Amino acid sequence: MVYRHLNEKDRFYIEQRLSEGDSLRSIARALGFSPSTISREIKRHTPIDFKGLYCHRLTSRCAQEKRANAKQGQAFRQISEEAKMLIHQRLSTHTSPDVISQELIREHDIQVSESTIYRYIYDDREQGGELYKNLPHSGKPYNSPYALI
């Protein structure tokens, strides 16, 4: 199965088949989704006041609102100035983002994940910054164990 999101047509099909009394498994099989995907869709997007009735228009609107409110890729913009300063200091000594993340938690009680630090570094690079040059293994050639054969 290829990964894809449910669209308006899929949701309309789910509504029709549920009203006919078909099982989630048969609906999932017909659409090419996992039964758990269909189950999650129904639980996630059916309003409580509809008492178990699935309405594709409401669920599509709900899904669009959730997508619009998603904060993907925005975590590094929420890093405090203090954390940014500490990240810059530690990167200047070629400390890895994994170690920086652990130190921020342990020594300063600041929660910033390793992946957020990496995103911050690469966003800085796209804007012309040079933080990426301070990563521990930047610019070093990769030595393959098979290169000598």
pLDDT recorded at residue 78: 77
pLDDT recorded at residue 56: 84
Residue 86 in contact with residue 97, Cβ under 8 Å? Answer: no
pLDDT recorded at residue 139: 58
- Please return the burial class of 65, using the count of CB atoms within 10 Å of its CB with bins 0-12, 13-18 and 19+: exposed
pLDDT recorded at residue 1: 56
pLDDT recorded at residue 74: 59
pLDDT recorded at residue 29: 94
Task: Give the predicted TM-score (pTM) of the model.
Answer: 0.48
Coil/strand/helix, residue 90:
helix
Q: Give the phi and the psi of residue 32 in degrees, each rounded to 5.
A: 85, 30
* Residue numbers of the chain with a pLDDT score lower than 50: none
- Measured distance CA(84)–CA(141) in Å, rounded: 29
pLDDT recorded at residue 147: 57
pLDDT recorded at residue 141: 61
